[in-house]
Amino acid sequence: MKPKSSQKIPSPIYGTAFAFDETTSLVEAALHAGFRGIDTAGALGAYREKMVGDGIRNCVKSGLIKRDDLYIQTKFSPYKPGKDPALYPYDTTVDIETQVQQSVASSLSNLGTDYIDCLVLHSLYADFDDTLRAWRAMEAFVPAQIGLLGVSNTDLGTLRRIYDLAGTDTKPVTVQNRFTQSTSSDPLDPKMPPGIPYPDDKYDAGVRDFCAKYGIKYTPWGVLWGSPELLEGIEADHLSEIADEIGVTKQVAFYVCLQDIAFVDGCEVGVLCGTKTIRRMSETIHGLQQIGEFLAASPGNKERWKRLIDGFRKIIGTQNACGYQGKNRIGIT
């Protein structure tokens, strides 16, 4: 089996961070609920990549899914000085290129597959030259064992440099970034865990704008727990009203709203859902379908949804550098 460089990144993707000992059972539950994209990472700490592989193997063996029907995304995590070397799936004393090679080999083994749909650079090095070395090492696996490449926890300047220097067929196709109104220049929020990266501007507007301009899929993480203000206030009241009418949670409705805000502005946004509740998994998958049916039912429903989107757009900000004026995936013009 070989990866397809044109593999479409699905949405929603099930995120396995902090699932720990429940990882295998939660991956199985997510696949049973209808998720067909799985996100993980090779380094221990927040992830248990081998248990992700166990869950996938169990579902393939049972006949629930075929490997070709599944999008698997994992990460190469650069070593952070001071961290326990045992957390990393490579020898932290060797050069970066060898670290990437060892990490990819470990991921292929853990996930029980001979190809990975997307490999993401989990974070940046302090020195851009080291970041570029890691990217070049990742490029070497495309297309034989890796289909697509992406980057996480990046600032706009580094993203632009990676994009400009990457090969024609190995440019980043996805960015997975923190999405919050707090920025890197704001005082640290004492309620948040230390070490969490913050965007350079509110709701990562600059990176989202770059993604829109160059056709990169933007997948925000920490949307709900990291930005509770988005589910409060007058726009959230309107969101709850429509969500209740449709019969979905306001969290699911907001995910769709966020996708449509970005899509109108020319940026494709992916949903990363990391719920640990089986009921929420089903609500997410079925809720997306219910919202589509609601919007298809009448022009009035579309107009109400459009007004909701416009309200949230004013909150999160849009730059729309590419000037895209397209048609929303669910029918809004």
In 3-state terms, what secondary structure has residue 108?
A: helix
Asked whether residue 140 is assigned to any structural domain, the reply reads: yes
How confident is the prediction along the chain (333 residues), in pLDDT tens digits per residue? Answer: 444 444 689 999 999 999 999 999 999 999 999 999 999 999 999 999 999 999 999 999 999 999 999 999 999 999 999 999 999 999 999 999 999 999 999 999 999 999 999 999 999 999 999 999 999 999 999 999 999 999 999 999 999 999 999 999 999 999 999 998 888 888 776 666 666 788 899 999 999 999 999 999 999 988 888 788 888 876 888 899 999 999 999 999 998 988 887 665 678 899 899 999 999 999 999 999 999 999 999 999 999 999 998 888 888 876 543 333 333 333 222
pLDDT at residue 325 in the model: 35
Q: Break the chain down into helix, strand, coil percent, rounded to 5.
A: 50, 10, 40
CA 129 vs CA 100, 124, 136, 177: distances in Å? 15, 10, 10, 21
* Distance in angstroms (rounded) separating the CA atoms of residues 9 and 119: 12
pLDDT at residue 298 in the model: 96
The four Cα atoms 90, 92, 95, 98 give a dihedral, to 10 degrees, of 0
pTM exceeds 0.85, yes or no: yes
The four Cα atoms 143, 111, 101, 167 give a dihedral, to 10 degrees, of 30
Asked whether residue 138 is assigned to any structural domain, the reply reads: yes
Asked whether residue 219 is assigned to any structural domain, the reply reads: yes
Enter the DSSP assignment of 192: S
pLDDT at residue 191 in the model: 64
Q: What range does the domain containing 246 cover?
A: 13-316
When divided into structural domains, the chain yields a total of: 1
Strands, E, within the chain: which ranges?
Answer: 13-15, 37-39, 71-76, 116-121, 146-152, 174-178, 217-221, 272-273
* Distance in angstroms (rounded) separating the CA atoms of residues 5 and 144: 10
Asked whether residue 49 is assigned to any structural domain, the reply reads: yes
Asked whether residue 306 is assigned to any structural domain, the reply reads: yes
Here the CATH number for the domain that contains residue 76 is 3.20.20.100
pLDDT at residue 328 in the model: 33
* Distance in angstroms (rounded) separating the CA atoms of residues 300 and 285: 24
pLDDT at residue 263 in the model: 62
pLDDT at residue 333 in the model: 24
Asked whether residue 190 is assigned to any structural domain, the reply reads: yes
Asked whether residue 210 is assigned to any structural domain, the reply reads: yes
Q: Which two tokens stand for residue 36?
A: 């067909």
Site of tokens 């757009």: 313
pLDDT at residue 324 in the model: 33
pLDDT at residue 6 in the model: 47
Asked whether residue 5 is assigned to any structural domain, the reply reads: no
pLDDT at residue 265 in the model: 67
